[in-house]
Amino acid sequence: MRRSTAVRRGPAATTAARRRLAAAACALAAAAGMVLSGASPAAAADYYYELPYPAGEAYQVTQGPEGTYSHTGPYNEYAWDFGLPANYEVSAAQGGTIIVSGWSPYWQNGIEVIIRHSNGQCTHYAHLNRALYNPGTWVPQGRVVGWSGSTGASTGPHLHFQVIDCNSRVGIPATLQGWTPPTGSWPVSVNAYA
- Encode pLDDT of 140-187 as tens digits: 999 999 999 999 989 899 999 999 999 999 999 999 999 999 999 999
Average pLDDT score, the chain:
81
More confident residue, 22 or 94: 94
Is pLDDT at 96 greater than 60 in this prediction? yes
Is pLDDT at 68 greater than 90 in this prediction? no
Look at residue 67 in the predicted model and tell me its pLDDT: 67
The SS3 of residue 85 is coil
pLDDT by residue (tens digit) across 37-48? 333 344 446 789
Write the DSSP string, 110-167: -EEEEEE-TTSEEEEEEEESEE-S-TT-EE-TT-EEEE-B--SS-SSSBEEEEEEETT
Is pLDDT at 88 greater than 70 in this prediction? yes
Total-model pTM: 0.76
